[in-house]
């Protein structure tokens, strides 16, 4: 329960900070974070494929 309260507190602080930035800054930050997540997901998918191939040998 405490973790949920802490998570909501951090979420509120982050959203409050974003509300004070101009829209263009928020959109650029969102694009950068989205790109980073896409690269991370791609690396994870490719890495799992190579690891699974080693297990079959």
Q: Write down the pTM of the prediction.
A: 0.57
User: Using one digit for the tens of pLDDT, what is the confidence trace for 6-57?
Assistant: 988 988 888 887 888 898 998 998 999 999 999 999 999 988 766 655 555 5
Asked if residue 8 lies in contact with residue 16, where contact means CB atoms within 8 angstroms, the answer is no
Please give the pLDDT value at position 1: 87
Cα dist from 7 to 22, 30, 52, whole Å: 25, 20, 35
């Amino acid at each position: 329960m405490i973790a949920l309260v802490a998570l909501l507190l951090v979420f509120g602080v982050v959203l409050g900070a974003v509300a004070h930035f101009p829209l263009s800054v928020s959109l650029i930050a969102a694009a950068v974070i989205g790109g980073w997540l896409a690269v991370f997901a791609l690396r994870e998918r490719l890495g799992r494929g190579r690891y699974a191939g080693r297990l079959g040998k």
